[in-house]
Amino acid sequence: MAADSMLYSPVESPMSSTVPFLTASTLSIVLHLLGIFVVALFVNRSLRAATNLLIKPAAGQGRAEQLREQQTRMVAQSIYSVASGVIWAVAVLTALDQFGISPVPALIVLAVAGVAASLGAQYVIRDAIAGFYILWEDQFAAGDTVQIADHHGKIEQLTLRRTVLRDPRGALVTIANGDIRSVANLSRDWSQSFVDVGLAPEISLEKPMAALEAAAAELRSDASWSQALVDGPRVLGVQSYDRNATVLRLQVRTAPTRQDEVTRELRRRIQIEFQKQGIPLAGIARFELTNSQPLVGGTPQSASPQ
Using one digit for the tens of pLDDT, what is the confidence trace for 228-240?
888 879 899 888 8
96 pLDDT tier (thresholds 50, 70, 90):
confident
On the question of a common fold for 140-185 and 191-303, the answer reads no
Examine the pLDDT at 289 and tell me if it is beyond 80: no
Dihedral angle of Cα 165, 171, 176, 179, to the nearest 10 degrees: -90
Q: How far apart are the C-alpha atoms of 262 and 233, rounded to whole Å?
A: 10
pTM, full prediction: 0.52
8 A C-beta contact, residue 251 and residue 194 = yes
**Pick from 205, 218, 303: nearest CA to 248:** 205
When pLDDT is averaged across residues 130-147 and rounded to a whole number, the result is 83
Q: How far apart are the C-alpha atoms of 285 and 300, rounded to whole Å?
A: 6
Question: Percent of the chain, pLDDT > 90?
Answer: 9
**Residue 174 neighbours by CB under 8 Å, 6+ apart:** 162, 163, 164
- Bridge partners, 153 (sequence order): 146
Q: Where are the beta strands (DSSP E) in the chain?
A: 145-148, 151-158, 162-166, 172-176, 183-185, 191-199, 229-241, 246-254, 283-290, 293-294, 301-303
When pLDDT is averaged across residues 141-151 and rounded to a whole number, the result is 86
Examine the pLDDT at 102 and tell me if it is beyond 50: yes
Q: How far apart are the C-alpha atoms of 39 and 90, rounded to whole Å?
A: 11
Examine the pLDDT at 301 and tell me if it is beyond 50: no
Residue 297: per-residue pLDDT: 39
Residue 172: per-residue pLDDT: 92
Residue 88: per-residue pLDDT: 81
The alpha carbons of the chain give a radius of gyration, in whole angstroms, of: 36
8 A C-beta contact, residue 60 and residue 68 = no
Q: How far apart are the C-alpha atoms of 153 and 158, rounded to whole Å?
A: 13
Which phi-psi region, left, alpha or beta, contains residue 297 (left: φ > 0; alpha: ψ -120 to 50)? left
* Residue 124 Cα to chain centre, angstroms: 17
Answer whether CATH 3.30.70.100 is correct for domain 191-303: yes
Q: Which fold has domain 140-185?
A: SH3 type barrels. (2.30.30)
8 A C-beta contact, residue 297 and residue 229 = no
25 pLDDT tier (thresholds 50, 70, 90):
low
Examine the pLDDT at 8 and tell me if it is beyond 70: no
Q: Which of 12-21, 38-47, 250-259 has the lowest mean pLDDT?
A: 12-21
8 A C-beta contact, residue 68 and residue 141 = yes
When pLDDT is averaged across residues 168-173 and rounded to a whole number, the result is 90
Residue 66: per-residue pLDDT: 66
Residue 67: per-residue pLDDT: 66
When pLDDT is averaged across residues 268-286 and rounded to a whole number, the result is 78
Comparison of pLDDT for 209 and 70, the residue scoring more: 209
100 pLDDT tier (thresholds 50, 70, 90):
low
Domain residue ranges in the chain: 18-120, 140-185, 191-303
Residue 165: per-residue pLDDT: 92
When pLDDT is averaged across residues 198-220 and rounded to a whole number, the result is 89
